Structures are given as structure tokens and as C-alpha cells.
């Protein structure tokens, strides 16, 4: 898998080739390479780029989960060029020979891709699927502009939740992020003078991947806690998300912390 719409394949005769899924475009996985102007409703700013980068990584993971290492069936289109940029073979890809829906179209229906504006036989079908995903706020189209102001305190009986700060972010794990999950982490520090009971609090990113702090977890005054993306045994200083894939975008993302009353405690934007 190169990204959500491009992959290397081995043909039945043993030769290798690179295919590009016809008629679709998933977001780039680097904030510097994203093009928000190609995505209706996504602003061309750091927040919009972080959003697209997040969904670019999600699209790649989605393709990996469904296609990597598997046998697929591919078909070219008589109304499209046989090869595109970088000599990649332009194809429809399906997970079975009798599949009614190509993986290309599923990417659009599930909000992982937009329709690529070129000529191909199924263009009208893809346009309709994209419109439906946009109108339904599916996947990448579920963008909601965020406020990047500093964290605010939540009204929780006098506890100053604003004293909770993001004291460290390590989004770019060594090697493949998805294979080194515990080298991806976020650290929080309680800079206040009293402990913070974080039972029922949640941690999430722009793509709404969500972690819930354990019941009874309290962060003492002056103490720090690190939340690792992978699995492990929780302690007072280390907590484990238990995710099966990377969460935090290397190119930038937004860290949200919400208390048990649903109030936003932290909204922290970091760049790659």
C-alpha cells in the first residue's frame, strides 16, 4: 500500500506493477502535500490541512485492512487512459470477481475519497455517490471548523480543569507508525494546585478517534501522565489507548480533551 488509492501489485504472471484506483482521489498523508482547494468545504489553513491529513491516513489504513496481501480483481476502462501519472495502471479494483461494487466506489461512499475529475465510464455513478456522502456528512465531509484558542476551564464545582495542559506530543513514531504504536503518545500535566479526577473524560483527535480515561483515574497536582496509542498495563503515569493503528497525524492534528459533563477542557493544535 502506498496510500489509499495507490498500491503495488503482483500480476498472475509474477510481474509487478503499480495501480492507481480510477476515478477516486484520497487525501494526501502529508499536510504539506494536501490541496484543500480540491475538497469542497475544507478550508485552506492549518486546521483544514490537518483534517485532510488525518483522513488520508485513515484511507490508507482502510485500504490496508481490506486489500493488503489479498487477491483482487482489476479492470481498465475504455473511456479512460490505460496509464496515468508516473506510468501507473488506472483500474477499478474489486475484492471478488463477482463483486457488485468496486473498492473505488466504496472509498467514495464511505467518505474516504472524492471523485477524481476526469473522464471514465462510471463518472455519473461516482458523482452521485460523492454528492450523497457530502450531503450526509460522511467521513472526510464531516468537517466542522474548530476554535484553536487556548484551553478553557470547565465548570466542575471549582476544579480548574484549565490547569491540565498538553506537555508533550510524539506523533511520528520510529519506522511505520502503525507497527510501532507505543512510540506514538501524548503527555498531559496538571499545572494546578489540586488533583483532577478524570473519570469519564475523553481524549480524541480531529477524525474523532476517541479514548476514555479509566474510571477512578486522578492526576495529582504537578503530576504528568502519558497516553500511548498501543496496548500495555495502565499505571499512575502511563495509560494505553489500545488502538490497533496509529491515531495522531505526523503532519499536524488537534488534541481534544472533554470532561465527564461533555465540556471541552483542551483544544490543542500541533503542527508536523
Question: pTM of this prediction?
Answer: 0.59
Domain with CATH 2.60.40.1260 in the chain: 161-271
Alpha carbon distances (Å) from 105 to 128, 161, 235, 260:
11, 45, 44, 39
Whether the Cβ atoms of residue 181 and residue 203 lie closer than 8 Å to each other = no
User: Please, what is the Cα angle at 249 between 142 and 84, to 5 degrees?
Assistant: 75
Whether the Cβ atoms of residue 194 and residue 230 lie closer than 8 Å to each other = no
Alpha carbon distances (Å) from 12 to 17, 21, 71:
11, 19, 10
48: helix, strand or coil: helix
Domain with CATH 2.40.50.90 in the chain: 6-141
CATH class of 6-141: mainly beta
Mean pLDDT, range 25-44, rounded to an integer: 89
Segment 92-150, tens digit of pLDDT: 999 998 899 999 999 999 999 999 999 999 999 999 999 999 999 999 999 976 543 33
**What is 161-271's CATH superfamily?**
Lamin Tail domain (2.60.40.1260)
To the nearest 10°, report the CA torsion of 205, 206, 208, 211.
Answer: 10
The predicted structure's pLDDT at residue 219? 94
CA atoms within 13 A on the CB side of 194: 8
User: Which letter does DSSP use for residue 161 in this model?
Assistant: G
Closest-CA residue to 254 (of 46, 57, 22): 46
The predicted structure's pLDDT at residue 154? 37
Segment 37-81, tens digit of pLDDT: 999 999 988 888 889 988 998 999 999 989 999 999 999 999 999
The predicted structure's pLDDT at residue 272? 65
Residue 109: phi, psi to the nearest 5? Answer: -60, -35
Amino acid at each position: 500500500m502506498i496510500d489509499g488509492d495507490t498500491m503495488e501489485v503482483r500480476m498472475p504472471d509474477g510481474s509487478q506493477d503499480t495501480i492507481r484506483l480510477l476515478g477516486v482521489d484520497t487525501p494526501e498523508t502529508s499536510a504539506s502535500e494536501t490541496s484543500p482547494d480540491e475538497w469542497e468545504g475544507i478550508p485552506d489553513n492549518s486546521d483544514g490541512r490537518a483534517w485532510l491529513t488525518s483522513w488520508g491516513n485513515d484511507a490508507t489504513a482502510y485500504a490496508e485492512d481490506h486489500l493488503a496481501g489479498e487477491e483482487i480483481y482489476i479492470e481498465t476502462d475504455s473511456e479512460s487512459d490505460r496509464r496515468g501519472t508516473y506510468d501507473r495502471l488506472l483500474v477499478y479494483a474489486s475484492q471478488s470477481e463477482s463483486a457488485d461494487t468496486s473498492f473505488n466506489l466504496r472509498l467514495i461512499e464511505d467518505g474516504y475519497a472524492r471523485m477524481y475529475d476526469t473522464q471514465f465510464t462510471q463518472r455519473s455513478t461516482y458523482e452521485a455517490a460523492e454528492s450523497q456522502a457530502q450531503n450526509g456528512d460522511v467521513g472526510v465531509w464531516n468537517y466542522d471548523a474548530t476554535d484553536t484558542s487556548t484551553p478553557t476551564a470547565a465548570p466542575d464545582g471549582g476544579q480548574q480543569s484549565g490547569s491540565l495542559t498538553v506537555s508533550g506530543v510524539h506523533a511520528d513514531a520510529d519506522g511505520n507508525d502503525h507497527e510501532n504504536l507505543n512510540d506514538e503518545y501524548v503527555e498531559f500535566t496538571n499545572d494546578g494546585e489540586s488533583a483532577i479526577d478524570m473519570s469519564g473524560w475523553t481524549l480524541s483527535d480531529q477524525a474523532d478517534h476517541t479514548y476514555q480515561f479509566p474510571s477512578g483515574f486522578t492526576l495529582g497536582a504537578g503530576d504528568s501522565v502519558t497516553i500511548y496509542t498501543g496496548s500495555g498495563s495502565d499505571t499512575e503515569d502511563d495509560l494505553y489507548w489500545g488502538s490497533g493503528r496509529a491515531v495522531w497525524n505526523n503532519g499536524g492534528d488537534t488534541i481534544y480533551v472533554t470532561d465527564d459533563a461533555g465540556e471541552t477542557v483542551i483544544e490543542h493544535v500541533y503542527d508536523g
